[in-house]
């Protein structure tokens, strides 16, 4: 495109030059003096030959922004081009994120779990396990990720993901999510004849609770105040007299704690 040209391509060029701060006139689709000098200003900023002419290979137009572009894989250094060959391709709006799951880890992973992806920035990217599949070639399970919130895992930082072959980012799956509540030893939990879960208070009375989460021999429960004294292990039988009670310290396994 050069002085004297008209059309939609010129209008798109004018919009582009306006967005990058080199053009302030009307977007009228006419390649006049204002457009000519705006192109020269843009070329000078890029450090390329300044002639006010926009050639076919100078600009790639896409239907919406932001967009991820890559050179067409058919291009090779030293190729002779006759014109008309594909030069660039538009990639998906964001990279696809997949975690390979070793056999020892796959059993702990399920959909809906949160994944933190360390991309060496100020904050990790948050993702969510959307599906779990099995690769017949590698005989290994894998998890496909979606954004945990919003529309993109990498947001406006997707440019840090290199184009081409797969890139590796350290990631951590929250197998046990952050949970708040009262902590009791799992050994303190019992089930009564009606199938309700609960604990046995120091007095010997059954107290129903709801178990929210558990890990490493501890359970987070609702319905029990922090500081309550319970029996460990739980026993729904007759109350144990104080002089026959276990010697466990009151501030150890037999006393509940608050978790946050």
pLDDT digits (tens, 9 = 90+) for 226-241: 999 999 886 544 343 4
Give the per-residue pLDDT at 39: 94
**Has residue 14 got a pLDDT over 70?**
yes
Query: Which tens digit of pLDDT belongs to each residue from 28-66?
Result: 999 999 999 999 999 999 898 999 999 876 777 776 666
> What is the distance in angstroms between the CA of the first residue and the CA of the last residue of the chain?
64
**Has residue 253 got a pLDDT over 70?**
no
Contact 87, 57 (CB under 8 A): yes
Give the per-residue pLDDT at 90: 74
Query: Which tens digit of pLDDT belongs to each residue from 203-225?
Result: 999 999 999 888 778 899 999 99
Binning pLDDT at 50, 70 and 90, where does residue 25 land?
Answer: very high
Residue 93's CB: how many other CB atoms inside 10 A? 12
Q: What is the 3-state secondary structure (H, E, C) of the chain?
A: CCCCCECHHHHHHHHHHHHCCCCCCCCCCECCHHHHHHHHHHHHHHCCCCCCCCCCCCCCCCCCCCCCEEECCCCCCCCCCCCCCCCEEECCCCCCCEEEECHHHHCCCCCCCEEEECCCCCCCEEEEEEEEEEECCCCEEEEEEEECCCCCCCHHHHHHCCCCCCCCCCEEECCCCCCCEEEEEHHHEEECCCCCEEEEECCCCEEECEEEEEECCEEEEECCCCCCEECCCCCCCCCCCHHHCCCCCCCCCCECEEEC
Interatomic CA distance for residues 145 and 254, integer angstroms: 41
Bigger pLDDT: 163 vs 211: 211
Contact 52, 40 (CB under 8 A): yes
Give the per-residue pLDDT at 234: 62
171's tokens: 């990631």
125: Cβ contacts below 8 Å, ≥ 6 apart: 116, 117, 119, 153, 154, 155, 157
Average pLDDT, the chain: 82
Give the per-residue pLDDT at 66: 65
Most confident among 71-75, 154-158, 166-170 (mean pLDDT): 166-170
Q: Are strands 69-71 and 218-222 parallel, antiparallel or unpaired?
A: unpaired
Contact 141, 132 (CB under 8 A): yes
At residue 43, what are phi and psi to the nearest 5 degrees? -65, -40
At residue 116, what are phi and psi to the nearest 5 degrees? -100, 125
Contact 200, 164 (CB under 8 A): no
For the chain, what percent of residues have pLDDT higher than 70? 84
Give the per-residue pLDDT at 209: 94
Interatomic CA distance for residues 152 and 96, integer angstroms: 10
Give the per-residue pLDDT at 130: 93
pTM value is 0.47
What is the mean pLDDT of the segment spanning 8-24? 92
């Amino acid at each position: 495109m050069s002085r004297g040209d008209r059309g939609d391509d010129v209008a798109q060029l004018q919009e582009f030059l306006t967005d990058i701060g080199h053009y302030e006139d009307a977007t009228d689709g006419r390649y006049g003096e204002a457009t000519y000098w705006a192109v020269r200003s843009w070329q000078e900023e890029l450090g390329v030959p300044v002639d006010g002419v926009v050639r076919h290979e100078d600009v790639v137009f896409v239907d919406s922004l932001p967009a991820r572009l890559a050179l067409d894989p058919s291009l090779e250094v030293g190729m002779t081009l006759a014109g008309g060959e594909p030069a660039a391709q538009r990639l998906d709006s964001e990279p696809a994120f997949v975690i390979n799951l070793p056999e020892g880890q796959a059993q702990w992973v399920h959909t809906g779990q949160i994944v933190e992806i360390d991309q060496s920035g100020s904050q990790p990217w948050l993702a969510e396990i959307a599906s779990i599949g099995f690769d017949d070639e590698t005989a290994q399970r894998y998890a496909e990720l979606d954004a945990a919130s919003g529309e993109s895992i990498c947001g406006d930082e997707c440019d840090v993901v290199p184009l081409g072959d797969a890139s590796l980012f350290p990631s951590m799956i929250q197998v046990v999510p952050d949970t708040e509540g009262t902590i009791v030893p799992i050994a303190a939990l019992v089930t009564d004849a009606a199938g309700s879960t609960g604990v046995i208070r120091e007095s010997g009375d059954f107290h129903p609770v709801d178990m929210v989460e558990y890990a490493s021999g501890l359970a987070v429960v609702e319905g029990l105040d922090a500081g309550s004294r319970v029996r460990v292990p739980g026993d729904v039988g007759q109350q144990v007299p104080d002089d026959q009670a276990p010697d466990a310290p009151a501030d150890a396994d037999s006393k509940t704690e608050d978790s946050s």
